[in-house]
Structure 1
Amino acid sequence: MKYRQLGKSGLKVSALGLGSWLTYGKAVEDKTAEDCIHKAYELGINFFDTANAYEAGKAEVVLGNALKDYERSSYVVATKVFFPMGSGPNDRGLSRKHIIEQCDASLKRLGLDYIDLYQCHRFDPSVPVEETLLALDDLVKQGKVLYTGVSEWTAAQIQSAVDIGKDYRLHPIISNQPIYNMIERYIEDEVLPVSNQLGLGQIVFSPLAQGVLTGKYKPDASLPDDSRAANDDTNMVINSYMRNDVLQTVQKLNDVAKELEVSLTQLSLAWILRQQGVSSAIIGASRPGQIEENVKAVDIELSEDTLQKMEIILEEIKDFHPAR
């Protein structure tokens, strides 16, 4: 495994992290989830990402149970706050009340004394950014949180947060967690350049486009019965990928992977990890074997000729914008 600085902070995270969205506490049995977490740890992954909203806290419980036997200093846990955790008017968002209460709740579910990285899961236009940042700063001062970050914030929102943090002399946010893969590349326009300038690292999720970039979905073919696309009608993102032009492009990328004698999964992850400003790519896994395959991507170096060939292929879907 290789490790990278998270932005300009001193925190080092594995180039691949293990996430729990749509899997742990839901689609994957707890024992299998723990086996995946243990395999990831054994292979050098030290970064584990979750959120309070993932199955109403169940994913945090599963993660905490799996990590409890390891030395606390040997891993980095990231969780998030924003989405509804109840029916009350204060059970959501980025108010001071919700942030403080949910931090305590996440710590209890995880069974930890502190959270390494606490992230604002989305931007909350109903709450002054100052209130949100001051609440996060207080958690850092109390030792409940070591670092803070955001997820899916725009370049302008990130810039504003950094400026306000400097004005108030707060502990700075160090990361942003956006979706990023060869199909979904919006962060390249503004988010990446601004984040690089300000010192925020990117922790990207859905690097395999929720399985599309593994090559298992074929153009002009029915969906595999056991696939996410066939069994999750509410997932607008993956459903929007199910277009022949997108799937045909993916098959061409698979040809490039075969030429390099790597899997399309490994090629897709290596393509992301070569991007300046990406600190870690969050993979998902429903069985340990997937993690064993994925970690091999950290050693793949893509030549300029290969990157250019891939870019020509990706030009075919440059105007495609998945549902977000």
Structure 2
Amino acid sequence: MRYRHLGRTGVRVSPLCLGTLMLGAWGANDAAASTRIIDRALDSGINFVDTADSYSRGETERILGDALARPGRRDRVVLATKVHSPMGVDPNARGNSRRWIVTAVEDSLRRLRTDRIDVYQVHRSDPHTDIEETLDALTDLVRAGKVRYIGSSTFPAHRIVEAQWAAQQPGRSRFVLEQPPYSLLAREIEADVLPVCAQYDMGVAVWSPLAGGWLSGRYRAGAEPETSGRAARWAARYDMARPENRRKLDIVTRLAELADEAGLSLVHLALGFVLSHRAVTSAIIGPRTLEHLTGQLGAADLQLSADVLDRIDAIVPPGTTPNPADGGWRAPELDDPSLRRRA
């Protein structure tokens, strides 16, 4: 496996990052099944593992911590986790405030059974907290040795720039990694987020490279519609009655035909596509089963030809996202009238 540099940190990570969203209750996986997936990923050469405190309300971090606590595991892994999402009914047990960050990191360290987090990421931007407060709290964690590097996830381009400018203050740590959604069905970040990350020499680990299962091969014309809990939670992405999802279905059908002609699985085409972008460091895969993981591993060093990439662009043009619900971030001003109108 050819490892890639994580921005300008000097750290080298695998092109596939093991995402753990589906390990634990959310993926209907118990600890034993989850550990088998973790072991297989590490044995294959993956050395980059991503999780979050909110995944299965902390259960995923505990499972991962137990798996990495065995001899020879933890030191081989670049371990990333996140802070921001609600962790209970307490209104202050969430967000990007110093108050919550210094509490949340201790909780994550305990669940992960480690004394340091390699990359501690802010899961989402927080419009109610100054970025300077967030960066200062994270910088203190770096100085204390509890965190090695810091990063962001699903920040819009202007927030990434704001954070980089704020980090110009002497002694303040900067975000070295961004995690945006990116796939054949969600390409809008090619217009702003990815160029901005490249400009600031940030690493980029993209999430949902299989578009929440749309590029796994299960969605074809005539197939049974999605009925899982995922479809209920994110109806805007899976409801086939919506014209934007019917458009996605047409695109997926054409991409599957292209994959067949290129002698690839649709999964490998999708992963190879995101890994071909010059700004992308790793693709975060989120297998729910060993079978899913095995089917994705072969894409680690895949290089798509210029012809295949050109044909992809003809099917789904650069910078386009057929269904905006797949974009991962929506400006709050679009949904909150108080942010658009004078009092």
TM-score normalised over the length of structure 1: 0.94
SS of 2:7's partner is coil
Deviates further, 243-252 or 174-183: 243-252
The partner residue of 1:115 within 114, 117, 126 is: 117
Q: Percent identity of the aligned residues?
A: 38
The partner residue of 2:179 within 174, 177, 180 is: 177
Deviates further, 180-189 or 212-221: 212-221
Deviations 1:8-41 (A, max 9, x none): 2112111001112244343222211111100000
Structure 1 residue 224: deviation in Å? 5.9
1:7: which partner in 2?
Answer: 7
SS of 1:79's partner is strand
1:149: which partner in 2?
Answer: 151
CA contact (8 A) 1:245 1:317 kept: no
- C-alpha change, 1:125 and 1:263, in structure 2 (3 Å) is same
- C-alpha change, 1:319 and 1:128, in structure 2 (3 Å) is closer
1:45: which partner in 2?
Answer: 46
Give aligned pairs, total: 321
CA contact (8 A) 1:271 1:302 kept: yes
SS of 1:18's partner is strand
Q: Counterparts of 1:62 and 1:281 in 2: how far apart (Å)?
A: 22
1:238: which partner in 2?
Answer: 237
- C-alpha change, 1:67 and 1:81, in structure 2 (3 Å) is same
The partner residue of 2:207 within 202, 205, 218 is: 205
Deviations 1:248-307 (A, max 9, x none): 211111111112211100110000000011111100112222222212112322111111
Q: Counterparts of 1:245 and 1:232 in 2: how far apart (Å)?
A: 17
- C-alpha change, 1:208 and 1:123, in structure 2 (3 Å) is same
Deviates further, 141-150 or 59-68: 59-68
2:68: which partner in 1?
Answer: 67
- Flag structure 2 segments of 5+ consecutive residues without an equivalent: 329-343
Q: Counterparts of 1:51 and 1:140 in 2: how far apart (Å)?
A: 18
TM-score normalised over the length of structure 2: 0.89
- C-alpha change, 1:268 and 1:145, in structure 2 (3 Å) is same
- C-alpha change, 1:240 and 1:201, in structure 2 (3 Å) is farther
SS of 1:281's partner is strand
CA contact (8 A) 1:36 1:288 kept: yes
CA contact (8 A) 2:141 2:147 kept: yes
Q: Counterparts of 2:247 and 2:132 in 1: how far apart (Å)?
A: 44
- C-alpha change, 1:314 and 1:137, in structure 2 (3 Å) is same
Deviations 1:129-149 (A, max 9, x none): 111000000000000000100
SS of 1:161's partner is helix
